[in-house]
Every structure is written in C-alpha cells, then in structure tokens.
Amino acid sequence: MKVDGQCHCGAITYEAEVEPDTIQVCYCADCQRLSGTAFRANVFAPAEHFRLLTGEPRKYIKTGSSGAKRVHAFCGDCGGPVYSSAVEQPKSYTLRVGALNQRHELGRPRRQIWVKRRLAWVPRIEAAEEIDGQP
C-alpha cells in the first residue's frame, strides 16, 4: 500500500510503498536509546518506491554492537525520525510506523526482534513471531 509520512514539524515529507501486516517491533538497546522509549515499530519500504518529497534529513551513522553501520535520518529542526537504511546504495528504507499517516491502516506486527531486551512491563504481542536477538 502507498504511504506517506513526515517529521513532527513537517519540514520533511516522503512517500513509499509498504506491505500491510509486516510491521517489525524491535526491543534492542539501540532502538530504545534512539527512540527514547521501550521499543520501535518499523516497516520496510523498497528503495525504488521511496521518495523524499520535501526537506533534507540530517544523517547519523550508527555503529551497532556487531560493527554494522546504519544511516539514521532525522529532521535537523524537530528531531523527528525519518528512516534508517544501509550506508551504501540502500535496497530498502526502514520507516518508523508512528511517523506514517497511514499507521492505523498498516495492520499488525508480524515479527518481534531482540525479545531478550524487552522491558518486563511491556505486554507480549500475540501472534507476532518472537526472535531473541538479531534475525
């Protein structure tokens, strides 16, 4: 389905194509730190349909515990997340479900990763595959 999204201040807008019911919830320490909350909900958008419409995000290169580098794009004015992707020639963009205007129509999470880092008070999401660490 076609989706569009924006940062909080609206300077950065974008559109993409995503599959409904393919949300991935991540409980890893990086997602907790970068989102400021207990988990992050993502959906994957093939690069060929992802298009920035307005604005130019700032980019932070995150180095994970595995050594893998990811680009984290965000709004330099409001700090709102835009996407994460591979550093070189991304094949897909990982979009933040809460930033998409169609977030209520996107369906359910299909998978949860880094479940071993899930905070004890976070309820389990039934019917979404659980993976302890990085798939």
- The residue ranges that bind Zn ion (CB under 5 A) are 7, 9, 11, 26, 28, 31, 75, 77-78, 80
CB crowding 120-130: b at 16 or more within 10 Å, else e? eeeeebeebee
Nearer residue to Zn ion within complex by CB, 69 or 105: 69
CB of 36 to Zn ion, least distance (A): 13
CA distance 5 to 103: 9
Six-digit token string for 98: 């809460």
CB of 15 to Zn ion, least distance (A): 16
CB of 131 to Zn ion, least distance (A): 11
What are the backbone angles phi and psi of residue 116, rounded to the nearest 5°?
-65, -15
